[in-house]
Amino acid sequence: MLGNFSYKNATKLYFGDDSLKFLNDELPKYGKNVQLIYGGGSIKKNGIYDEVVKILEANGKNIVEDPGVMPNPTVEKLYEGIRIARENNVDLLLAVGGGSCCDYAKAVSVSVNCDEDPWDKYYLRFEEPTCEIIPVGCILTMAGTGSEMNAGSVITNHEQKLKIGHVFGEEIMPKFSILNPKFTMSLPKRQMVAGIYDIFNHICEQYFSGEDDNTSDYLAEALMKSVIHSSLIAVEDPNDYEARSNIMWSATWALNTLISRGKSTDWMVHMLGQAAGAYTDATHGMTLSAVSLPYYRYIMPYGLAKFVRFAENVWDVCPDGKTDEQIAQEGLKALEDWMRKIGVSMNLTELGATEDMIDGITEATFILEGGYKVLTKDEVREILKQCL
């Protein structure tokens, strides 16, 4: 049954290999001071930085540099971004990079005019902003998170060993996002496949949850099949434009809130992966791949019908002469085979996790109630042990 819901997504997207030119259409809508947010400098090596700066200067903007956003943005970096924005009276936060840059920009946007500690307010108490926010625009260089068209923002606090995501209200969504698939082609292969698994798991988190057999599920299955198909092409030829463009477009639709409508959604794989990431600082998509199979095998009996459907509709498992349990297990085996084929991490040990971290990761794991089974802390601990 399809549940009651509302839906709105105000982010304007520009997609394609000439999409950057539309930055000229967006910049006149905002004031003079633009905080240019980016990561470790790869956009300077591949020329994207120069292209963006040229457009900003042509539009008479004052560029305020904010480089060094790390793959898992830290609370210390957030405080730095707040300081930069306040000191320069920033009018627009322009993130050029992957999901981490977009997440970070959204965190800065709600924090610049906040009179409380944003970590406490947004990431520990999960409150909404009551202050004026600074608009965000994104120029995406990595496909995976969907942050370009949603209101989510994940920040890491290493001192507290916490990695927490806050999904803000719709007003925090980027005002515009520019998606040029060619911008993703300079990524190392490991980052590409980490992004691919992040996309796939975003879909799974919404698919494996209550209110089954509705339009959202059919959309999810189609997106999963598209990601599988394009990923196998992209790992063989990372410069295949059609495959990379389909991956990029699937990433956006996987987490722009559309396929979650009418669903309770699960997100326990993300809770497990983010907790592990707080301890290992490993790449987000790889932490998800490392914990997925043990988690899904554990909850499969509680959502057996959906795992059977997953096997048949996504992986084309033939049900003839098999029990539901056998069909579902064959579907998860097909998922495992695909994961190995594209080259994602299959356990937490290879990401740096050790057995003596398990208790801490368990305590750092938020337990959510949207999936087929609400876990206890003891169950979380056992699943994490299986992930090593």
DSSP letters spanning 331-359? HHHHHHHHHHHHT---SSGGGT--GGGHH
What CATH class does 12-184 carry? Answer: alpha beta
CATH 3.40.720.10 fits 189-387, yes or no: no
The b/e string for 222-247 (b: 16+ C-beta within 10 A; e otherwise) is bbbebbbebbeebbeebebeebbbbb
Give the model's pLDDT for residue 40. 87
The predicted model gives 299-312 an average pLDDT of: 97
> Could you tell me which residues are beta bridge partners of residue 161?
none
Report whether pLDDT(186) > 90. no
Percentage of the chain lying above the pLDDT 90 cut: 94
Beta bridge partners of 15: 179
Q: Give me the DSSP letters along 289-311.
A: HHHHHHHHHHHGGGGHHHHHHHH
Under DSSP, is residue 245 helix (H, G, I), strand (E, B) or coil?
helix
Check residue 5 and give its pLDDT: 82
- What per-residue confidence (pLDDT) applies to 131? 96
How many other CB atoms sit within 10 Å of the CB of residue 292? 25
Give mean pLDDT, residues 292-321.
Answer: 98
Cβ–Cβ contacts within 10 Å for residue 102, how many?
32
Q: Please determine, for residue 16, whether its predicted confidence score (pLDDT) is greater than 80.
A: yes
Helix (H, G, I), strand (E, B) or coil at 205: helix
Q: Is the pLDDT of residue 213 over 80?
A: no
Q: Are strands 162-167 and 152-157 parallel, antiparallel or unpaired?
A: antiparallel
Residue 64 pLDDT exceeds 80: yes
The larger pLDDT score, comparing residue 5 to residue 118, is at 118
Q: What is the DSSP letter of 16?
A: S
Among 96-100, 213-217, 246-250, the least confident range:
213-217
Closest CA to 362 of 375, 379, 380, 376: 380
The reported pTM is 0.94
pLDDT number for residue 150:
96
Taking the domains of the chain in order of start, what are their residue ranges? Answer: 12-184, 189-387
Model confidence at 1: pLDDT above 80: no
Does residue 110 register a pLDDT over 70? yes
